[in-house]
Amino acid sequence: MNQIVFEDKNIIPNKVICVGRNYVEHIRELGNEIPENMVIFLKPNSSISEELKYVSEDNHYEGEISFLIMQSKIAGVGFGLDLTKRELQSTLKNRGLPWERAKCFDGAAVFSEFVSFSSSVEELMLELYINDKLVQKGEVVHMMYKPKDILKEIKSFMSFEDGDIIMSGTPKGVGKYQKGDKFVGKILHKNTLLIEHEWMVA
């Protein structure tokens, strides 16, 4: 089973619960409709990776504030990359089919380490740099559904298990990437850096 690191300990997540279309500007950049209800989908443990790999020219990165769940509550925060085969996803959506082939492949959920976090999640922010250029910046305050709403909605139909991860959605600025690109993901709280993680695309 694949693992993530939380406060220097290895944790095995059972599942990754993803929120789609949670930033209005991202919805608009992809030409999607604003959903009437929260969009939720899952990634299996087999999709989790510490490494960022080039899959195909169809692949897009999506930087996300990610939460580690313990005892059905947020226990930690990390930086996540939701990798997406964009053209395949569009084809599947247009046919009314599920997204698993475009979202759940091996290595499609890339994470930094996670750190303990008990302060106000409403003041968290992410930044993603590729080759030293800022490409994504998003704050919890700009989310359509805030973390407390996400927890409540998930609990309404699904049980949390210790070690589960929530990927809370991506802001605008998603796009393609190449082998050799340098990614730097940051999570900040009130402009104080909590996490900085670097990946080189293999």
Q: Could you give the CA distance from residue 5 to residue 194 in angstroms, rounded to a whole number?
A: 15
pLDDT at 118: 77
Helices (H) and strands (E) in the chain, counts: 4, 17
- The structure's pTM equals 0.96
pLDDT at 185: 98
Query: Is pLDDT of 31 > 90?
Result: no
Task: Find, among 183, 196, 199, 171, the residue nearest to 30 by Cα.
Answer: 171
pLDDT at 96: 93
Q: Could you give the CA distance from residue 122 to residue 169 in angstroms, rounded to a whole number?
A: 14
132-151 pLDDT tens trace: 999 999 999 999 999 999 99
Residue 113, φ and ψ in degrees, nearest 5: -70, 160
Question: 92 burial class (0-12, 13-18, 19+ CB within 10 angstroms)?
Answer: middle
List alpha helices for 22-176, DSSP H: 24-29, 86-94, 100-103, 147-155
55-105 pLDDT tens trace: 999 999 999 999 999 999 999 999 999 999 999 999 998 999 999 999 999
Domains of the chain (ranges; CATH) run 4-124+138-177 (3.90.850.10)
